[in-house]
Amino acid sequence: MEEALGIYRQLGDKPGQAQALNILGFVRLGTGDYLGAARDLEGALRISRDTGDAVGQANSLFGFGITRRLTGDYPGAVTGLQEAQGIFRDIGDRGAGTPHVHRCPARNVIQTRPAPQTGLSGQ
């Protein structure tokens, strides 16, 4: 995926860059690299906002919410998940294939995740 990100950057393909960064962020999240996940998701969110990609924005915010939950930032987690939930609700069926956070309250996602492991420095 990092190779794909490089190619998207060379081509100037902003949507491709955002998608690659989102995927990398979720992979890093799954491997416990929370700082790397936050960095990639932040980049994806910035590009998605610049290009008006609502699904990309919601996916990035969802990832941020989970990252913040896993690092013990519960208020930040609720904020990110609620923002994602609102976007998913607004886009409806166009969000097919998304994490479907719009179907469950953000607080439920927070309560069902494992205990936090480490904090995000500088966050």
CB neighbourhood size of 37 (10 A): 25
In terms of Cα–Cα distance, which of 19, 102, 15 is closest to 62? 102
Q: What average pLDDT score do residues 109-114 get?
A: 48
Task: Dump pLDDT digits (tens) for 19-78.
Answer: 999 999 999 999 999 999 999 999 999 999 999 999 999 999 999 999 999 999 999 999
Exposed e or buried b per residue across 50-75, where buried means at least 16 C-beta atoms within 10 angstroms of its C-beta: eeebebbbbbbbbbbbbbbbbbebee
Q: What predicted TM-score, i.e. pTM, was given to this entire model?
A: 0.75
Domains and CATH numbers, the chain: 2-112 (1.25.40.10)
